[in-house]
Amino acid sequence: MSLVVADANEKAAVSLCEQLEHLGIEAISASDLKLAQSICAHAEPQMVVCCSYDWAEQLAGAHRRIPIVLARPEAPDAQLLTQALRSGLADVWTLPMTDELVRQRVNDTFERYASAATQAERRLSQYVADLQRDQRAGRYIQMGMLPPNPMAIDRYRIQHRIVPSLMLSGDFVDYFRITDRHFVVYVADVSGHGASSAFVTVLLKNFSRRLRREYRPTMLSRPGEILEWINRELLEQNIDKHVAMILAVVDVQADRAAVVNAGHFPPVIRVRGSGAQFVEQKGKPLGLFDAVDYEPEVLDLGSGESLVIFSDGVLEAYPDESLAQKETRLLEAARAAGSIDGVWNALGLDAEVDVPDDMTCLILRLES
């Protein structure tokens, strides 16, 4: 074991160190507070004995895991003992002490701290287990909110994949009929990660259900009105989150998709034959601004064409590439849009990849 004796009186510090060494306890002296703090920060001694209450109090506040003992030549009164307890000191010694008493007090302090550390570790392990169980339950619920995968709506086939960076995801997709002739499809990327972002996806799923019941006919040709509605809802909730989203309303009779973009990057990719290109659009993220406007890009789709949407987490899987290289990679992968597996393989993401953000891909394909 290793101890530090912190005392401005170098002679007294050396004397106590010699007594500890005689007991087989390795000890070093620190003649000023700055040196004692440095030793605690870098060497992590098993105990510090201070002869100054101010030093002991500062060290106890900065190094909670190290027992800090106050050693004084005068016996402590009740007030000092109370202050020491409140400051987090491990013990108060009255010097000088016999070798037997020093050994006993040192061992008692170590045993108390070891027991406390064991209990803390046990509580932490239980807390982590409870948290993981809750997150697994949350993940199960979140997966249950997602639409069938794949899903066919008339001649359209829709499939998706979400790979969360944590157990819960801030990415979300949904697609559903809104009339006999129209269906809605969207990809949403909630700011942040984890449980707080996942909570917003619950709001989005609730909005999907409301949209089916409360949509206005004008929204079918002007889907920007849907985004404006979501934007108002998020602002009214007054949550510290915003959402990037690509949303399309598809007319299955005219084979026409009206696409709007609320600050989502990368934009939707249109795949025709062997070619793929981004559909560049502008728009503010949802939940940040009162005044928003979203102009739709109307795409007439032909048999075999696909629309592919990635979340920006896919870009972060390639930290060493430039943005231009990443965009080229997405376009090349989108050409394999016959299946999600094909796209993932083309991206080199068929194996597990540690990424700092959720990764999502959605493919909407008009079958021949």
Map out the domains of the chain as residue ranges. 2-120, 146-366
Which DSSP string corresponds to 318-345? -TTS-HHHHHHHHHHHHTTTT-HHHHHH
Q: Which amino acid is at 347?
A: L
Give the model confidence (pLDDT) of 297-309 as tens digits.
999 999 999 999 9
CB burial of residue 152 (10 Å; 0-12, 13-18, 19+)? exposed
How far apart (Å, rounded) are the C-alpha atoms in residues 177 and 197? 26
**How far is residue 12's CA from residue 169's CA, in Å, rounded to a whole number?**
59
Compute CA distances 85 → 69, 70, 89, 241, whole Å. Answer: 11, 11, 6, 43
Mean of the pLDDT values across residues 340-368? 81
pLDDT in tens, 217-228: 999 999 999 999
The matching CATH number, chosen from 3.30.930.10, 3.30.360.10, 3.40.50.2300, 1.10.3720.10, for 2-120 is 3.40.50.2300
Quote the CA–CA distance of 183 and 176 in Å, as a whole number: 5
Note the pLDDT tens digit of each residue in 49-81: 998 899 999 998 888 888 999 988 888 888 888
Question: In the CATH scheme, what is the code of domain 146-366?
Answer: 3.60.40.10
- pLDDT class for 1, splitting at 50, 70, 90? low
In whole angstroms, give the CA distance from residue 76 to residue 70.
Answer: 10
Q: What is the pLDDT of residue 202?
A: 86
Over residues 162-175, the pLDDT tens digits come to: 888 776 778 899 99
Q: What are phi and psi of 47, to 5 degrees?
A: -165, 150
pLDDT at 5 over 60: yes
Count, residues in the chain: 368
Q: What percent of the chain has a predicted confidence (pLDDT) above 90?
A: 39
Tell how far CA 173 is from the center of its chain: 19
In the chain, DSSP assigns E strands to 2-6, 26-30, 47-50, 68-72, 91-94, 151-153, 156-163, 171-177, 182-190, 243-251, 256-262, 269-272, 275-278, 297-300, 306-310, 359-366
In tens, the pLDDT along 122-142 reads 888 888 887 777 777 667 677
Mean pLDDT of the chain: 88
> Cβ(175)–Cβ(186) under 8 Å?
yes
Distance, CA of 78 to CA of 84 (rounded, Å)? 10
Residues 54 and 137: their CA atoms lie apart, in Å, by: 49
Give the confidence band of 353 by pLDDT, cuts at 50, 70, 90. Answer: low
- Other Cβ atoms within 10 Å of 177 Cβ, number: 14
Sign of the four-CA dihedral 343, 348, 352, 358 = negative
- State how far the Cα of 301 lies from the Cα of 175, in Å rounded to an integer: 18
Q: What is the pLDDT of residues 244-262, one digit of tens each?
A: 999 999 999 999 999 999 9
User: DSSP string covering 164-220, please?
Assistant: -SSSS-SEEEEEEESSSSEEEEEEEEESS-HHHHHHHHHHHHHHHHHHHHH--GGGG
Q: Kindly report, residue by residue over 23-46, the tens digit of the pLDDT.
A: 888 888 888 889 988 888 888 888
More confident position, 243 or 143? 243
Cβ(216)–Cβ(182) below 8 Å: no
Give 347's pLDDT tier (boundaries 50, 70, 90).
Answer: confident
Position with higher pLDDT, 350 vs 76 = 76
- Report the pLDDT value the prediction gives residue 122, as an integer from 0 to 100: 85
Model-wide pTM > 0.75:
no
Band (337; pLDDT cuts 50, 70, 90): low
Answer yes or no: same fold for 2-120 and 146-366: no
According to the model, what pLDDT value does residue 279 have?
A: 92
Distance separating alpha carbons of residues 335 and 317, to the nearest angstrom: 19
Residue that has been written with the tokens 């402590």 in this structure: 76
pLDDT digits (tens, 9 = 90+) for 81-123: 888 888 889 899 888 889 999 899 989 888 888 888 788 888 8
CB 285 within 8 A of CB 243: yes
In the predicted structure, residue 144 carries a pLDDT above the cut 80: no
Report yes or no: 242 and 251 within 8 Å, Cβ to Cβ.
no
Please choose, from the candidates 172, 287, 189, 292, the residue with its C-alpha nearest in 3D space to the C-alpha of residue 240: 287
Where does the pLDDT of residue 351 fall: very low under 50, low under 70, confident under 90, or very high at 90 and above?
Answer: low
Residues 6+ positions from 337 with CB-CB distance below 8 Å: 271, 306, 308, 343, 363, 365
